[in-house]
Chain A
């Protein structure tokens, strides 16, 4: 290396070394670790943001015995935009907010009804935000949900996250990630949905959380809510059913209430055009185990009984899908099942010609469901005594 370059290098290195100290504000110990963000609209179009932040000292030493306060703190700030409100958090804590560990974004019910589009931009644009962060609607205001506490050593956002992740083994739960929400809000071919979460006051004064329903949006405005059966239909049609989910049927011939636990569920949806109308040919194949057989008189498991169970289950699923799609399509003219997106891909020509009046066409859409249920295991039972 040339001598002048060597001479230059030393001061440059020193400048770099010393300048690094100025980044200490970005260090982990100086960050406000955000666990959940609640967005509510308030008067004059301003935004109220509630942040659930981590008390790192308590989070790192939950069993220290010292009075370190609650593991989470909540703080509420305001601003004309979400970004401004979040940056205003520094007024209360003097730390740089860190959004990368955020587990949940919550919109208040009123905000969801008024439209969430304006508030999504911040979460899409900010590089720190994960695209896979969960989004939900609060049954009341977002502040109520985000500031609720479950005890001094429980991270409330983590509990909410656990509830949403339980979708893996419960058919009545669906979760929604930010990027999927944006896709659904932006497309003309489908409508967005989000789980509705509720904070209830428990007996001991502490809160407890519950998944209330699933909110369905028309464009970016919350329109109505899907209850249990609607949620099952949503899970099935969006192909999200995993092993472990259970549904109950009534076996009319044997007069028994039964619960079947799904082992495998495959859904094939073929969008067709028949008589100039969109038709969805839905084929569902479910492999399930008998989880419970509630009957007054125990009886042996026979081939006939299994066939009857199969038939009842198939009829239940067929009816479930047909009824719920019908209700969404005809009553609300919405498609949270994303069937339109499939139609757009497979029947692009037809969709293109009807892109303007797709919503109006929804009530005429036919959904043909054909379900096949295979009983895999019958399991233990009192009938064997």
Chain B
């Protein structure tokens, strides 16, 4: 069957082209270079070619209209070159003169390969060819449209900085640089994606990141067999642990401050051009319950909040399953008064409790998904319909019992508390509902055992995902897990993620 499926998939797909081709060098005949450019880039309307003369030599200026700032191009490249006095006559000397005396930008480089020049052109640089010169000059005058730095949307913080990463790659690096002005912060560039040639930046602190880990990240990303990379999600599977798990062993953040905090603990952060999110490894399961706000509050409140989040996680995963199990098998647990109420409510519904639970949670997920993807103007309408249909009509019609509705509400609210792991949590919830309905509480316990062993078996770049709980590290446990030490002690020494491997 799998063979058949693979064949069917092969029919509608094609193998990504291999980009390993001989690289042509820049010809001394500028026109030949232009012909090569046009051949590679086709008739794209945004690529502008300007033929001119510098002295007696024919020259070509090429730019990508959308990627460059036109004013800068005119002011810093075209005007100074064309109005230059004392321009030498020899083409090579002309190019040297332009590079050293005329243009004023620092972002400027010499390219001998035509393909490299094309890449620079598409990155927003202006290319200059002069007849008789075996290389071209690239001037950085980028000015592509971009979003300004805005507030974080998915990791809202009460008391800390509000800035979030943007799509612009350099801005993101700048956001991090601004926070860590130390030479130990390293930002190494790499490219992934055969066609997209997306730039990624591997960021780490040279003095504390495990060099083996940094190399492993670079190697894995180098080996990533991708054609186009349009987001961090494309790279995530190449960084994940070998053990398949619902929980990701790669962390994600949209906040530069969190990215810096991760680097400070010896982790490696990966930025992807065009994506306002960063990945980081190694990632710990416990970090799903932490936020930067915890460090801005007093330690006792952080303890309270973290305990609350873990309780919310437990509720959101297990509550519906336990409810189904209790109603189906373990009625003896309920105190008498609660038993009466639950019994009378459940007695009016036509479905078995398990099916009722799956049905109502399924409806809830539909409403949630609709609310998320709909334009904001109709989002409210979706909420109202959802509330009316689920909240009122279903109970009145006797399709759903009121206690079940309370369970859904509690579960939904709890799952938003641990929004970082919402997706695995919602899947687990369904799994535990089924297990609870079939084998009761004891099946749920076995399910929990499987989940626990799975989470414990995951290694994120050599660091156990469940650390510092399993394996147990008392030092790390007491430092910053449930309990967070005060900054007077926390600030003295930074946690070394590497130590958790032991």
Contact = CB atoms under 8 A, between A and B. Distances in A.
A24 B437 CA distance: 9
Interface stretch (B167-175, B215-223, B292-300, B324-332): B324-332
Contact of B328 (A27, A60, A98, A158): A27
B480 interface: no
A56 B437 contact: no
A128 B332 contact: yes
A53 to B, nearest CB: 12
Interface stretch (B63-71, B233-241, B272-280, B336-344): B336-344
Contact of B343 (A21, A23, A33): A33
Contacts of A130: 332
Given A21-B352, A27-B346, A56 B327 contact: no
B346 A28 contact: yes
Interface in B343-372: 343-347, 349, 352-355
Contacts of A19: 438
Contacts, number: 76
B259 interface: no
B16 to A, nearest CB: 25
Nearest to B437: A20
B356 to A, nearest CB: 10
Interface string A279-295: 00000000000000000
Mostly, the A contact residues are helix
A268 to B, nearest CB: 37
A101 B331 contact: yes
Given A3-B2, A27-B346, A54 B340 contact: yes
Contacts of B244: 1
Contacts of A98: 331-332
B1 interface: yes
Contact of B342 (A3, A13, A23, A28): A28
A107 to B, nearest CB: 23
B339 A20 contact: no
A161 to B, nearest CB: 10
B425 interface: no
B81 interface: no
A42 B342 CA distance: 37
B125 interface: no
A17 B437 CA distance: 8
A213 B355 CA distance: 51
Contacts of A20: 352, 354, 434, 437-438
Contacts of B327: 27-28
19 contacts: A16-B438, A17-B434, A20-B352, A20-B434, A20-B438, A23-B352, A26-B328, A28-B342, A28-B346, A28-B347, A28-B353, A29-B343, A33-B343, A56-B347, A57-B344, A57-B347, A59-B340, A100-B332, A158-B336
| 6 interchain residue pairs of minimum CB distance | A60-B344, A100-B332, A59-B340, A29-B347, A56-B343, A24-B352
Given A28-B339, A60-B341, A101-B331, 4 more contacts: A28-B343, A54-B343, A56-B347, A100-B332
